[in-house]
Chains A and B, each alone.
Chain A
Amino acid sequence: MDAFMELFREYDVLGAFLVNIELTLWSALFSLILGVVLVMMRISPISSLRTVAGAYVELFKNMPLTIIMVFMVLGVYAQLKLEFSDTFATNFFWLAVTGLSLYTAAFVCEALRSGINTVPLGQAEAARALGLNFMQSASLIILPQAFRGSVAPLGNTLIALLKNSTVAAAASVSTETSSLMKEMIEFHADAIVQIFLIFAIGYVIMIIPIGVLTTYLSNKLAVRR
């Protein structure tokens, strides 16, 4: 027990978790926006939009996240000189958020599409019969129901995103959990199991409430038909 306390005093473990939570929340926001845009494109009457959105989803679904993160730092930043900020830490943080958002948007799009599949045909037909055009029927009728139908896959995507935020280590974010764990093990090799348990249990503690909340919400929000 003393060893645990010692580790907590010496390192900012909670701060590292906070970095991961920040990464997750920003990426969740941006990937949700991008995901909604993509799913609208995928169901739109304009075939070029459909093709581009489909290609985007296929591309990012079949691409390792690690290579995207490495590409963000070594390709986009180092070679193409795209910067978010002059401070290294802030710059890498936002590069990591960009990589995570681009990657997760593909999965958000798929989750919403499975939600759209749960909306009965009659809803769309009724919307058309009332004279709504595509944008109106999509934003007023289809998507609100699709969101309620895709709470569970979206929750799973959020959990995956939280876990994936550790891959920000590949984008040189050095204050997040996996980097800190590596550093701690480097200097406290004798307490390796304790260190791993601290971080592992930290993630279990964060993920259980999301899981419980998702279950609750997906039952509560499901459209009863």
Chain B
Amino acid sequence: MASKNNESSVLFDQPGPKGRRMIRIANWIAGVIFAIVVVLILLRLHNPPDGENQLDWELWRPALEGEAWTDFYLPGLWMTIQASIVAVIGSVVFGLVFGVGRLLPNPLARAVSAVVVEFCRAVPVLLMMIFFWRGFAFAGIGNSSYWAVVLALILYNGSVVAELVRSGVGNLPSGQREASLALGLTETQSLMQIEVPQAIFAMLPAAVTQLVVVLKDTALGSIIMYTDLLQESRRLGSMYFNILQTLVVAAVIYFVICWLLSRLAEWLPEKMRSRTAAPTEAEAVAPIAIMDPSNVNQIAVAKEVEERRFSAGAGERQYHVHHRGSNASIREWRRTRYMQGYDETHPESQVDPLTGEFPAALRSQRKGKGGFGRSESKGSESKDGGKDTAK
């Protein structure tokens, strides 16, 4: 919240008495306009042209009473949750297999995994669902719409998780791999025993975000006759001719669940940070497009700057963000950092990139140029961002 306010206050001056009055007036005008919009919507609901009054309690009651919940919403919700949970577990397994597959030393395994993942990411989920639905029905598998929903969601979300695993491993400091190789592990062993376990912790918050996507996408199942929450609410609505009301109730249920999961995904990174050397992120940054068009690095630089500005001293990052990015190699992070002006091997002579403070040895020479250290460190910060995108 604090960061949002700060972000916006950057764009305009701290308002004086006149400005505050203007803002107050504008606030009132905007509030009145929104109130008018709400009233117009309610009027339309109250009196649609040659239609029923949609605000009538007679229409809302069947959508809200106990029987509607026990016979329609809750069974539908259970079907939705059932499919989501199976799909999430399946997509994590799928993602781990193909995400690790894309990192294996064997080029054939890498190529096959890459083709599978990129194909599953590019095909719309609904097309996969319809294909599996009819395919399973022809093959004589019972409950074909359920399996179609689950399998289509596994394929799409699994390919996103695969990208998250890949970027999670890519974001680990290369010391992890170097240390395990130095201990005599093979590349595959190092991947399986050292890197992937840490990447899993790093991607867990993103996986929760993905759960929201899965939950939202199960609603597609209603198109292929899966009796999920949406389908059940449509059935209830067609019984009492109050489809608008039942859809609103279903929408509220979807919103509440997804919103709570989103909050969980925002809270998790704090918990996970201590368990991995890779940065944890709430957003599923795995890009959708082929060839990874993503400016995660730029965004990450901005976030880090923001983080540093607003959370004075709390939980600073151990590694600089420009080593992140799903297809970015970070093998040479120490050298890059050195090239960008910070010499790890001689910290006593370097400006601290986190605080921007000059070392004691240099501070005496710089006397008289008050506040210079601060601005210089800011300069180098944004230079990192530039170099990063240039790669």
B274 at the interface (CB under 8 A from A): no
Rounded to whole angstroms, the CA-CA distance of A145 and B200 in the bound complex is 35
Q: Are A45 and B254 in contact (CB under 8 A)?
A: no
A102 at the interface (CB under 8 A from B): no
The 8 A CB mask of B1-41 against A (1 = contact, 0 = none) is 00010011011110100010001001100110010000000
Q: Which of B7, B27, B218, B302 contacts A47 (CB 8 A)?
A: B27
With A43-B11, A63-B216, A211-B291 known as contacts, the answer to whether A48 contacts B27 (CB < 8 A) is: yes
Rounded to whole angstroms, the CA-CA distance of A49 and B212 in the bound complex is 27
Q: How many A-B residue pairs have CB under 8 A?
A: 242
Rounded to whole angstroms, the CA-CA distance of A204 and B124 in the bound complex is 10
Q: Are B255 and A59 in contact (CB under 8 A)?
A: yes
Query: In the complex, what residue of chain A is closest to B257 when comparing beta carbons?
Result: A62
Residues of A within 8 A of B220 (CB): 64, 66, 167, 170
The 8 A CB mask of B223-248 against A (1 = contact, 0 = none) is 10000001000100100000110011
B138 at the interface (CB under 8 A from A): yes
Stretch touching chain B among A6-14, A84-92, A93-101, A114-122: A114-122
A35 at the interface (CB under 8 A from B): no
Residues of A within 8 A of B100 (CB): none
Q: Are B126 and A208 in contact (CB under 8 A)?
A: no
Stretch touching chain A among B183-191, B339-347, B379-387: B379-387
With A66-B230, A81-B51, A149-B295 known as contacts, the answer to whether A163 contacts B124 (CB < 8 A) is: yes
Q: Tell me which residues from 99 to 124 in chain B have a Cβ below 8 Å from any Cβ of chain A.
A: 119, 122-124
Rounded to whole angstroms, the CA-CA distance of A63 and B215 in the bound complex is 10
Residues of B within 8 A of A125 (CB): 10
Size range of the interface on B? 35 or more
Overall SS of chain A's interface: helix
Smallest Cβ distance from A167 to chain B, in angstroms? Answer: 6
B303 at the interface (CB under 8 A from A): yes
Query: In the complex, what residue of chain A is closest to B303 when comparing beta carbons?
Result: A117
Q: Are B289 and A155 in contact (CB under 8 A)?
A: yes
With A62-B259, A62-B262, A138-B11 known as contacts, the answer to whether A211 contacts B290 (CB < 8 A) is: yes
Q: Which of B10, B125, B298 contacts A222 (CB 8 A)?
A: B298
Q: Which of B15, B293, B385, B389 contacts A156 (CB 8 A)?
A: B293
Q: Which of B52, B259, B302, B390 contacts A58 (CB 8 A)?
A: B259
Stretch touching chain A among B129-137, B167-175, B362-370: B129-137
B219 at the interface (CB under 8 A from A): yes
Q: Are B287 and A225 in contact (CB under 8 A)?
A: no
Q: Are B27 and A156 in contact (CB under 8 A)?
A: no
Smallest Cβ distance from A89 to chain B, in angstroms? Answer: 19
Q: Are B123 and A159 in contact (CB under 8 A)?
A: no
Q: Are B48 and A80 in contact (CB under 8 A)?
A: yes
Smallest Cβ distance from B235 to chain A, in angstroms? Answer: 12
Q: Are B134 and A211 in contact (CB under 8 A)?
A: no
Q: Are A149 and B298 in contact (CB under 8 A)?
A: yes
Residues of B within 8 A of A30 (CB): none
Residues of A within 8 A of B258 (CB): 61-63
Count, chain A residues at interface, CB 8 A: 84
Residues of B within 8 A of A119 (CB): 302
A177 at the interface (CB under 8 A from B): yes
B74 at the interface (CB under 8 A from A): no
Rounded to whole angstroms, the CA-CA distance of A116 and B119 in the bound complex is 32
Q: Are B293 and A155 in contact (CB under 8 A)?
A: yes
The 8 A CB mask of B248-289 against A (1 = contact, 0 = none) is 101100110011001000000000000000000000000111
Smallest Cβ distance from B234 to chain A, in angstroms? Answer: 7
Q: Are A204 and B119 in contact (CB under 8 A)?
A: yes
- Give the interface of B toward A (CB within 8 A): 4, 7-8, 10-13, 15, 19, 23, 26-27, 30-31, 34, 44-45, 48-52, 54, 119, 122-128, 130-131, 134-135, 138, 212, 215-220, 222-223, 230, 234, 237, 243-244, 247-248, 250-251, 254-255, 258-259, 262, 287-296, 298-299, 301-303, 305-306, 309, 378, 382-383, 385-386, 389-390
- Give the interface of A toward B (CB within 8 A): 42-50, 52, 58-59, 61-67, 70-71, 74-75, 78-82, 114, 116-122, 124-125, 128, 133-134, 137-138, 142, 149-153, 155-156, 159-160, 163-164, 166-167, 169-170, 177-178, 181-182, 185-186, 189, 192, 196, 199-200, 203-204, 207-208, 210-212, 214-215, 218-219, 222, 224-225
* A-B residue pairs in contact (CB < 8 Å), sample of 25: A43-B7, A46-B23, A48-B34, A50-B4, A62-B259, A62-B262, A63-B216, A64-B220, A67-B251, A70-B247, A79-B52, A117-B303, A118-B301, A122-B378, A137-B11, A151-B295, A156-B294, A182-B134, A189-B138, A200-B127, A203-B127, A212-B293, A222-B298, A225-B382, A225-B383
